[in-house]
Structure 1
Amino acid sequence: MDAVDRARHRDDLGDSGLVTIALTGLLAKLALGDLRGAAAYSRELTNLMRIRGLIGAVSSFGLGEFAAARSLPDQAVSFYERAGEELRSVKATTWLPWRSGLARVIAGRGEIAPATALVEAELAQARTLDAPYAIAYALRTQAAIAPTSDRVTLLSEALEVLEGTAAARLDAQIRTDLAAWLLLLHPQESARAVDLLRSAEKYARQEELAPLLGRIRWLLERLGEAPDGELPGRLAELSAAERRVAQLVVVGKRNREIAVELGVSVKSVEWHVSHILRKLAITSRTELADALAQPRQPR
């Protein structure tokens, strides 16, 4: 929003710049849970929607997102469809996730087959463009409408695709989705679910994303975890799940013993141990006791 506010005072934006700023502002306000603030940008998009082609498509997509956020599915469908029509009219190859928006709305009406076709088309385009963000975005939508048994796999793939990118919000959203499905489908992976949520929680809290943060904390409560739970010293750098594993490593328990005690898989324990060592900048389990007992030294 700071970047949007700075850009809005420029005189050289043109229609393309204006629609980009208006869409960014609208999506940021929706992420913050500020529908009233988003409404101001929706009015700007409405004015720009009369311009045919790519600008009209971007405007229509933003208005579709705004309608969906206000639970107005008929309006959302109309705007998303118009976005697609405008893109096709100029044969634009620009990635715009109107298909994902439309798929989510019609899937909510029980129209799973056409929703699936839309997402498959979007994912194919994203892979053709070799765009990690677009691929992960489409995979997240696909997971929302796919058979339940496929959702953990699709979300895990989306996280892998995003690794190394700067897509912090999408990463946090996918981590939250994945944690929710692990909680429901694989309760033995609760430690991993907590770790995913702690990572997402930190980002959502920093950016004040009330809707996402509320969902994260609700899930943590279901897992028996308090929000923002931290301990002093270097232990505070670890998530709650990692702390449990670290404390058992320190007393000499092996991965298999830890897995039995926590009721998780050995693979999950191994995954946590590797994260613990990397976070604390150490290379072996034998260094862990000292690392947890001493304050972190500046590098």
Structure 2
Amino acid sequence: MISAEFDYARPTSVGEAVTALGDAGEDAKLMAGGQSLIPILRLRLAYPSTVVDVSRVAEMRGVRDDGNAIVIGAMTTHDEILRDALVKEHAPLIVQATHTVADPQVRHRGTFGGALAHADPAGDLGAVALTLGCEFVAHGSAGERRIAAADFFQDYLTTALTPDEVLTAIRVPKLGAGWSSHYEKFNRVAQAWSIVAVAALVRRENGSIAEARIGLTNMGSTPLRASAVESALAGADASEQGIGAAAEHAAEATSAPSDLSGKADYREHLARVLTKRAVLTAAGS
């Protein structure tokens, strides 16, 4: 299909992008890599008056060290993420999840910030950002503001960004020593969206799990933290039995969807199974 008619702007700075959004009004759309937006436009599921293409905004690309965090530009592609030494060193969970995103063609065009701002609950990076405690940097007509990952995802395809704001970067806190991670994903075919996936961060001390963070993909209208599992894992024995018992809480306080890929009770089962696998792998058990 062919998209409906729209105006097109291609700014070269964040300031120009904010101005273009403000001039266009509330029904404008930002385009980063375009891997999510273009199919939606072609299917006429969106009718923006203006598409603001930020692919030429160089200041929104790259990864840099900022003391206790690394800062990932929103326009950094998935492929660049996979090859970046800082991300590999300080946020291997992002690398593990990004490896599962679509296929090489999409990873070369799709962007880290674009995927997060799209806020599809089946997308792999939202739960990872939530688990890592990332902070989202946005620029709008009122200036810069930072949004905690826990506040960023508000509903299906809905974020805390205002219509005139551009997500410019994501701040990823550096984990201290002793943390390990794993991303466990279940999908029907290669390159497909997650039916369910689990992001696990584990810190061990003296053979036990001192602390754990668990993020769930596609178990609600937004990414979720499995807080009941995290509580059960604190101080638990890092054995298959101990981790398995904690993983039984994975579906608590979730609202898994039912669709053609699986019903809610099936996703709840997957959440428990995948949480056990993810934590076992992360804990090295």
Same fold (TM over 0.5): no
Which entry has the higher C-alpha Rg, 1 or 2? Answer: 1
TM interval, shorter chain, is: under 0.3
> TM-score, with normalisation over the residues of structure 1?
0.27
| Structure of greater relative contact order (alpha carbons < 8 Å, 6+ residues apart) | 2
> TM-score, with normalisation over the residues of structure 2?
0.28
